[in-house]
Copies of this chain bind each other. A is one copy, B any other.
Amino acid sequence: MTAYSALSAHFGRAAALSNALGILQWDSDTMMPKGAVGTRAESMALLRVLAHGMVTDPRIGDWLAEADAQSDLDPWAQANIREIRRIWTVETALPPDLVEASSKAISACEMAWRQARADSDFPSLLPYLAEVLKLQREIGRAKGEKLGLSPYDALLNDYEPGGRSERIDALFEDLAAFLPGFTEEVLAIQARRPVDPALDGPFAIEAQRALGVKMMGVVGYDFQRGRLDVSTHPFCGGADNDVRITTRYDEADFARALMGVMHETGHALYEQGRPQALLGQPVSQARSMSVHESQSLLMEMQACRSPEFLHFAAPHMREAFGGTGAGWEPEALWRRYTKVERGFIRVDADEVTYPAHVILRYRLEKALIGDEMPLSELPSAWNAQMQDLLGVVPPNDRLGCLQDVHWPSGGWGYFPTYTLGAMTAAQVFDAANRAEPDILPGIARGDFTPLVGWLRTHIHSQGSLYQTDDLLTRATGRPLDAGVFKAHLRRRYTSEA
A residues whose Cβ falls under 8 Å from a Cβ of B = 13, 16-17, 19-20, 23-24, 27, 31-36, 38-40, 42-47, 50, 222-227, 239-242, 279
Q: Are B33 and A226 in contact (CB under 8 A)?
A: yes
Q: Which residues from B are CB-within-8-Å of A43?
A: 16-17, 19-20, 23, 239
| 12 intermolecular pairs with C-beta atoms under 8 Å apart | A19-B39, A20-B20, A23-B23, A23-B27, A23-B40, A23-B43, A27-B27, A33-B225, A35-B222, A36-B225, A36-B242, A43-B239
Given contacts A33-B224, A35-B225, 4 further A-B contacts (CB under 8 A): A19-B40, A20-B43, A23-B40, A35-B241
Q: Are A36 and B239 in contact (CB under 8 A)?
A: yes
Q: Which 8 A-B pairs have the closest CB atoms?
A: A36-B242, A35-B225, A35-B224, A20-B43, A16-B46, A39-B241, A16-B42, A16-B43
A13 and chain B: residue at smallest CB distance: B46
Complexed CA–CA distance, A279 and B43 (Å): 13
Complexed CA–CA distance, A40 and B26 (Å): 14
Q: Which residues from B are CB-within-8-Å of A16?
A: 39, 42-43, 45-46
Q: Which residues from B are CB-within-8-Å of A225?
A: 33, 35-36
Taking A17-B46, A27-B23, A31-B31 as contacts, is the C-beta distance between A39 and B240 under 8 angstroms? yes
A45 and chain B: residue at smallest CB distance: B16
- Copies of this chain, tallied across the complex: 2
Complexed CA–CA distance, A17 and B224 (Å): 28
Give the shortest distance, in Å, between A49 (CB) and chain B (any CB): 9
Complexed CA–CA distance, A16 and B23 (Å): 15
Complexed CA–CA distance, A224 and B37 (Å): 10
A46 and chain B: residue at smallest CB distance: B16
Q: Which residues from B are CB-within-8-Å of A42?
A: 16, 19
Complexed CA–CA distance, A36 and B36 (Å): 25
Taking A38-B241, A39-B241 as contacts, is the C-beta distance between A47 and B20 under 8 angstroms? yes
Complexed CA–CA distance, A19 and B24 (Å): 10
A19 and chain B: residue at smallest CB distance: B43
Q: Which residues from B are CB-within-8-Å of A241?
A: 35-36, 38-39
Q: Are B33 and A223 in contact (CB under 8 A)?
A: yes
Q: Which residues from B are CB-within-8-Å of A240?
A: 39
Give the shortest distance, in Å, between A117 (CB) and chain B (any CB): 24
A36 and chain B: residue at smallest CB distance: B242
Give the shortest distance, in Å, between A246 (CB) and chain B (any CB): 12
Complexed CA–CA distance, A222 and B38 (Å): 16
Q: Which residues from B are CB-within-8-Å of A38?
A: 241
Give the shortest distance, in Å, between A43 (CB) and chain B (any CB): 4
Q: Which residues from B are CB-within-8-Å of A279?
A: 39
Q: Are B20 and A24 in contact (CB under 8 A)?
A: yes
Q: Which residues from B are CB-within-8-Å of A44?
A: 20
Give the shortest distance, in Å, between A331 (CB) and chain B (any CB): 38
A239 and chain B: residue at smallest CB distance: B39
Complexed CA–CA distance, A16 and B225 (Å): 27
Complexed CA–CA distance, A50 and B43 (Å): 13
Q: Are A242 and B50 in contact (CB under 8 A)?
A: no
Complexed CA–CA distance, A17 and B39 (Å): 11
Q: Which residues from B are CB-within-8-Å of A13?
A: 46
A44 and chain B: residue at smallest CB distance: B20
Give the shortest distance, in Å, between A32 (CB) and chain B (any CB): 7
